[in-house]
Structure 1
Amino acid sequence: MTVIVDPDMMSAYVTIVPGEGGTSVTSDEVVQALTGAGVITGILHDEIEKAVHEGEVIKRMVAAGRPPQPGEDSQFISLIPEMRERCPLADEEGNVDYRNIGGIISVKPGDPLLRRTSPTKGVPGENLQGALLPASDGIDIAFAPNLSGTAPAPDDSDLLLAAISGLPVLIDRGIIVEPVLKVKTVDLSSGNLHFTGAIDISGDVKAGMEVTATGDIIIGGVVESAKVEAGGNIEIKGGIIGQKEVRNDRGELNTDIAHVRAQGSISAQFAEHALIHAGQDVMIREVAMKSDITAGNSITVGEKGMRKGHIIGGVCRAATLVHAIIAGSPANVPTRIEVGVDPAINEKLSAVKQQLADKEKRQEEIDKTLTYIRENANKVDPGMAALKEKVHSLLQSEIAELNRQKKRLQKRLELVNNAKVEVDSSVYFGVQIMVGDKMLTIEDDLQSKTFSRGEDGIVY
């Protein structure tokens, strides 16, 4: 019988080899061996009994420490059911259905919007020697500043209410309420639309027109060779169709293409000769043909259980996932799919790290100044001392916010490293697939494959 204790003193294992003519190992002997190895707590007596009864085990865990549980930061809980549906959530297997983003909703003054929870205390852990392992407490995070169209509840500062009627838009650490502009069709009779808020268009956006909004845009018809941009999401009940190839032979953008861009997500029935760029997700329900599509998170072409869902020609690039029913075509139309490449994340992360380093350096200088002030209080003007204390407090808040931004960006970078391409049905000859820095050209038609990055290339 052999006992092994991990160097971090958080788990211990036993290996038992049956005796040949001698006596069998007993539970007491295993416990004595653990005690001799320094284990005084976390002993799993039931597991020891099972191991002894079986007579032969290889590295069976018989002692486990209790890891520390860090406290949770303040949480922001939407009180509008439709808005919770618009925020895609992962299931137990980690899959995310990016299609369920919900529709446009409205609120009226006094409607509850968002609840802020208090941070929780961390729970210390304990190793096998009985030593306490400290746990960090959650961070108290305030509502974002300048949440337009909202106000805190008079009797509850952690509850956010609507102050005006309009469209609630969920942002980081808050909700803003924007008014909604409703029109029938965007054409020469309406002129171009540039609106601070959300736009609901019941018909089409005609060729040559422009529509921009700081919030969401809902379009009940088709987007022709027009330009549509939104600070939120864009939902197109019809399709997106341009009149020419997206790029010419020199790689330059052609005129008369459909150009749709959103900081949030974009959904449409189909896309042809379209330039599409979404900060979050793109969902095309039927066909993406000869289009240039970019998504900060994922691109999904086709719905589960449906036969349509073709990527034919053009380029689809996303940070974490491209999912389609069929990729390419028997006619070998040049089709390229790219995942795992999101330079925007690296750029933002580098910028945040630089800002953090600058703030921390300045805080060190302020710390030295405050130390001198406290040691020589009679030599320093009280007003100057108060100013330095105020600057120090402000720097602490800014550093805490930058650390939160850094953590969020690092999590997004982890998702990019696990990027993949999923094709439910057929991948045709000639399709080019890039995952991170690895490239694969399909040489034979394939059926139902998932492509990801391996050490030596793309695996499927």
Structure 2
Amino acid sequence: MNAEVGQGKGVGLSFRLDAEAGALFASVRPDPAAVPIDEAWLRARLAEEGYGTLRYHPMAITGLLAQYNSGAAVAALKLGECVDASFSIAIAPDGLQALLTIVPAQGGRPVAQEAVFAELAARGVTEGILPEAITRAIAAGMADGVAVARGRPAVPGENGRLESVLPEARSRVPHLNASGQTDYRDLGDILSVAPGQPLMVRRAATAGTPGVTVFGQAIPAHPGKEVAFAAKLNGAQPDPEDPDRLLAEVAGQPVVVAGGMIVEQVYTVAEVNMATGNVSFDGSVVVRGDVAAGMTIRASGDIQIGGTADPCVLEAGGSISIKGGALGGLGRKEHADSLIRCGGTFTAAFAQQARIEAGDSIFIDDMAMQCDLAAGNHIRVGNKRRGHIIGGRALATLSISGKVLGSPNRIATNLEVGVSPATHKRMHELAKTRDGKEKQLLDISKLLAFAGHNPGRVDPAMVERARNTAKVLADEIQALRDEEQSLAELVARSQQARVTAEQVLHEGVNVQMGTLHYSVSGEHGAAAIGLNDGVLGLLAAGDSPSP
């Protein structure tokens, strides 16, 4: 095929495509009427002639322009060539995908669909081939890692779980979201169950679903981890006819704990005063009215008070809820030993001069005035009412918040967030204990390995005891690791701890976080105090504290 291009520009210039060689040749017959040409003009004319997609040799184009513009003759200069499209197939490292890459043709032939299928077969790909994806990629003329075959990943089994059939049951197992936040909550009335009433069911772990690679090879699924009811659950036992069901043994309050649910007996009294005497009960205590000054209530479960608690001692293994308020003895000699302490959450309408310690969080609706508050996670004052924290001291690991912090007359209000030294001490103790148990397990594993390689050399009874001990140690080590991980996550979240005033922040508020200290100067509207680039101070709107 020959083509002579243009008049004036390109006079004497012609092209010839050698189909057999797959190459484009240019020739020049010198002509006095020829006008100089440049590369842009030449490429435009090549495109017009249908040669625009070929692969050109830059030096050949430069040489052709030089010779044409100088009036030199050119017999047959190889200007470019036809290049067929090429393709390659890569297999993902996990064997779950075959990926097609197509390098576009340059004037040559496109990739043939049959060639792609043949290459897949040659690579041993037999599973999950996607013909439509192959067709689309070939039609587009190019592809960059397009999946043309997909295997099926294995789906791991679900872990076994213990499911409450009493959705209202209280939980003694902390439930925090990823940011460590909990909700303000009213514990409400105590739920009761009767003997023989179902409490929980155990859902068995599932085996999972096996997968398959693009080569047709099976991928085994990891089965879920089984879960069992704890060996001892006070007031509850597995159903003799169905070991996957937990029943109440006694009447009382159901409480979710690690490994199942317990049933605590509930002691109810109209009020606690000199006439009733102090209360000490293995279970939960409900006081419908008030608790008089100087009285003591100790319960292994929850304490719920329908009225007000005057300066007294309240100690609960679970949570404490006071519908009215809590009055303490801080600054008063006659009630200096008054204390409210619980392992779970404390809630009240208000608190004044009270010393309150909660393993989880403290929620006060109206006001906390001149109190000494300490909570494992959060302190929040203010829900539907005023929400003032005035004077005293408050310590919480993750957050302290109120609508108004401090007062206009600059009463010293000391707030502290972050993990306590006791938490770091506990982490150290856990690591030390785990190391000791891991050493014991290693020694027992050596004994079992020796027994396995030397049948009859070790007493079978000793081997059985060693196996049982190894199982117990492995479970204990896992429990220690779980607690270490929880504490490590708590320490990490505590770096994001903040003190928040939702409406007003007054001068006189002092914030402590580890060795860092910040004193509020002047009065502010809504404000937050936390770490930002390692500095403790006021955070700008929209800032997030950073470690």
TM-score (norm. length: structure 1)? 0.78
Matched residue type, 1:200: V
Secondary structure at 1:221 match in 2: coil
Which of 281, 289, 295 lines up with 1:203 in the alignment?
289
Matched residue type, 2:463: A
Secondary structure at 1:366 match in 2: helix
Taking a change above 3 Å as real, the CA distance of residues 107 and 392 of structure 1, as seen in their structure-2 partners, is: same
Select between 340-349 and 448-457 the one with higher mean Cα deviation: 340-349
Secondary structure at 1:283 match in 2: strand
Q: Shift of residue 9 of structure 1?
A: 12
**Structure 1 partner of 2:71:** none
**Structure 1 partner of 2:358:** 278
**Structure 2 partner of 1:183:** 269
Q: Shift of residue 224 of structure 1?
A: 1.4
Q: Counterparts of 2:416 and 2:502 in 1: how far apart (Å)?
A: 17
Q: Is the 8 A contact 1:65 1:125 kept in 2?
A: yes
> Is residue 190 of structure 2 the alignment partner of residue 104 of structure 1?
yes
**Structure 2 partner of 1:78:** 164
Secondary structure at 1:238 match in 2: strand
Q: Shift of residue 10 of structure 1?
A: 12
Secondary structure at 1:377 match in 2: coil
Q: Shift of residue 105 of structure 1?
A: 1.1
Which of 398, 406, 410 lines up with 1:328 in the alignment?
406
Matched residue type, 1:224: D
Alignment of 1:310-389 (within 5 A): 310-389=388-467
Q: Is the 8 A contact 2:172 2:255 kept in 1?
A: no
Cα deviations by residue, 1:28-60 (Å, 9 ceiling, x for unpaired): xxxxxxxxxxxxx9999x99xxxxxxxxxxxxx
Q: Counterparts of 2:364 and 2:151 in 1: how far apart (Å)?
A: 49
Q: Shift of residue 70 of structure 1?
A: 5.7
Matched residue type, 1:284: I
Matched residue type, 1:167: Q
Larger Rg: 2
**Structure 1 partner of 2:79:** none
Select between 417-426 and 320-329 the one with higher mean Cα deviation: 417-426
Secondary structure at 1:82 match in 2: coil
> Is residue 530 of structure 2 the alignment partner of residue 452 of structure 1?
yes
Taking a change above 3 Å as real, the CA distance of residues 87 and 456 of structure 1, as seen in their structure-2 partners, is: closer
Taking a change above 3 Å as real, the CA distance of residues 9 and 419 of structure 1, as seen in their structure-2 partners, is: farther
Taking a change above 3 Å as real, the CA distance of residues 361 and 244 of structure 1, as seen in their structure-2 partners, is: closer
**Structure 2 partner of 1:142:** 228
| Structure 2 unaligned regions, length at least 5 | 1-91, 98-126, 134-149, 536-544
Q: Counterparts of 2:500 and 2:474 in 1: how far apart (Å)?
A: 44
Cα deviations by residue, 1:414-448 (Å, 9 ceiling, x for unpaired): 33233222221011112112345432211121212
Q: Counterparts of 1:283 and 1:68 in 2: how far apart (Å)?
A: 45
Q: Counterparts of 1:337 and 1:165 in 2: how far apart (Å)?
A: 43
Q: Is the 8 A contact 2:329 2:336 kept in 1?
A: yes
> Is residue 496 of structure 2 the alignment partner of residue 410 of structure 1?
no
Q: Is the 8 A contact 1:283 1:299 kept in 2?
A: yes
Secondary structure at 1:185 match in 2: coil
Secondary structure at 2:370 match in 1: strand
Select between 313-322 and 334-343 the one with higher mean Cα deviation: 334-343
Select between 184-193 and 125-134 the one with higher mean Cα deviation: 125-134
**Structure 1 partner of 2:339:** 259
Q: Counterparts of 1:441 and 1:67 in 2: how far apart (Å)?
A: 56
> Is residue 310 of structure 2 the alignment partner of residue 227 of structure 1?
no
Which of 357, 372, 377 lines up with 1:292 in the alignment?
372
Query: Which structure's relative contact order is higher, taking Cα pairs within 8 Å and 6+ residues apart?
Result: 1
Q: Is the 8 A contact 1:342 1:416 kept in 2?
A: no
Q: Counterparts of 1:315 and 1:141 in 2: how far apart (Å)?
A: 42
Alignment of 1:153-172 (within 5 A): 153-172=239-258
Q: Shift of residue 139 of structure 1?
A: 2.4
Q: Counterparts of 1:43 and 1:350 in 2: how far apart (Å)?
A: 54
Matched residue type, 1:335: T
Q: Counterparts of 1:127 and 1:349 in 2: how far apart (Å)?
A: 43
Q: Is the 8 A contact 2:365 2:381 kept in 1?
A: yes
Figure out how many residues of one structure are paired with residues of the other and give that number.
450
Which of 469, 474, 477 lines up with 1:399 in the alignment?
477
TM-score (norm. length: structure 2)? 0.67
